[in-house]
Amino acid sequence: TNTDDLSPAPDAWSRPDIPLHARAAYKMERDGLTPDEPGVTGPMSQIDEIKSRGLPVAFVGDVVGTGS
């Protein structure tokens, strides 16, 4: 994962914009992830569907990129 996948600067350019970071994370389609609105909003519905089955949702991974 690249930092731009999780926190695209055009969508959320400051730390107070954390909710915008969450909505923009993974906004580009990839294997296993279907954005609500490709290029705009990440897979929020897909996450809600997983949570509705009583399953915990967590992001675990290695992040590389220019962000902090």
Check pLDDT > 90 for residue 22: no
Residue 27 lies in a domain: yes
- Spatial distance between the Cα atoms of 62 and 53, rounded to a whole number of angstroms: 26
Number of C-beta neighbours around residue 43 at 10 A: 19
Residue 58 lies in a domain: no
Residue 65 lies in a domain: no
Q: Which residues constitute the domain of residue 41? A: 3-52
Number of C-beta neighbours around residue 26 at 10 A: 21
Write down the mean pLDDT value for the chain. 83
Tokens 């991974």: give the residue: 61
Which residues, 6+ apart, have CB-to-CB distance to 30 below 8 Å?
none
Check pLDDT > 70 for residue 67: no
Q: Quote the pTM value.
A: 0.71
Mean pLDDT of 3-8: 76
Residue 68: the pLDDT is 53
Residue 19: the pLDDT is 74
Residue 47 lies in a domain: yes
Q: What percent of the chain has pLDDT over 90?
A: 38
Residue 28 lies in a domain: yes
Residue 66 lies in a domain: no
**Structural domain total, the chain:** 1
